[in-house]
Amino acid sequence: MRDLGVGFQYLVQGQRWVARHGKQYGFGLIPGLITLVLYIAALVALATWGPDFVTWATPFADDWSSPWPGLFRGLLTVVLFALALALAVITFTAVTLLIGQPFYENLSEKVDRDVSPDGTAPESDLPLWRELWISARDSLRVLARALVWAVLLFALGFVPFIGQTVVPVIGFFVTGFFLTEELTAVALQRRGVQLRDRLALLRSRKTLIWGFGTPLGLAFLVPFVAVFLMPGAVAGATLMARDLLGEETTGEDERDQVPHGHPNPMFRKPEVGA
């Protein structure tokens, strides 16, 4: 259970790092603001035309006696919007990272250089278009896994008592895991760690990942919070990636540091650019 606290410390450390590096924080806000505008437009469109879509998709309810068609379609509209909102939370990080790939790559590299004992950072030898392609491809694969969990948890949500108590808690932990995967991918992909290996690495330290991602997922439910936390989340995920790979880390303020440099026995760090 100690890893839960350590994971949360990484989240806090990331926010402290960007607070000390205002220029990086400012650049890191741009992708989140762009994504936020796109998502708000999509949700407004769904709220405007969602009821019409539900009516069109349920012609069989036209012959029902009042008030059942209205109640049924109203419930489906609420469910549709709730699913869209949950999907927005899950995909916000992936879309923001894709839009802001150059911004966050630069931020992550600067974090690595800042905390590395020799002041260096692993660098990808791939061209930008290739990095964007890999990031988009991996994000779609992660999204597919997240959607499977979302459908399963949505179905379990109808189970009395369990659906209203246990399932939401599991949902937050699942969301936290996938959020962390997307965020750590910035640093791990630059080190040549493939998606399958990233998932195995994160599963080997699930409590650490939950400690980082679950509070972040809860915070992302608050409108606009995700935009302002994203730069620090990327910085914190970079610090945590170093821990996961057993890389030695120092910092400007040793009081802010948590233990580093303990290799993960379940994972062999690949060569950079492999």
* Structural domain total, the chain: 1
* pLDDT at residue 271 tops 50: no
Is 129 inside any structural domain? yes
Q: Over the chain, what is the mean pLDDT? A: 82
Is 273 inside any structural domain? no
* pLDDT at residue 273 tops 70: no
pLDDT 10s digits, 51-109: 888 888 888 888 888 888 888 888 888 888 887 877 777 778 778 877 887 888 889 99
Question: Under a CB-based contact definition with an 8 Å cutoff, are residues 47 and 81 in contact?
Answer: yes
Q: Which domain holds residue 72?
A: 2-256
pTM (2 d.p.)? 0.74
How far is residue 101's CA from residue 255's CA, in Å, rounded to a whole number? 31
Is 87 inside any structural domain? yes
Is 131 inside any structural domain? yes
Is 269 inside any structural domain? no
Is 178 inside any structural domain? yes
How far is residue 56's CA from residue 76's CA, in Å, rounded to a whole number? 12
How far is residue 20's CA from residue 16's CA, in Å, rounded to a whole number? 6
Is 112 inside any structural domain? yes
Predicted pLDDT at 201: 92
pLDDT 10s digits, 6-32: 889 999 999 999 999 888 888 889 888
Is 73 inside any structural domain? yes
Predicted pLDDT at 137: 81
Residues in the chain: 274
Question: Under a CB-based contact definition with an 8 Å cutoff, are residues 149 and 174 in contact?
Answer: yes
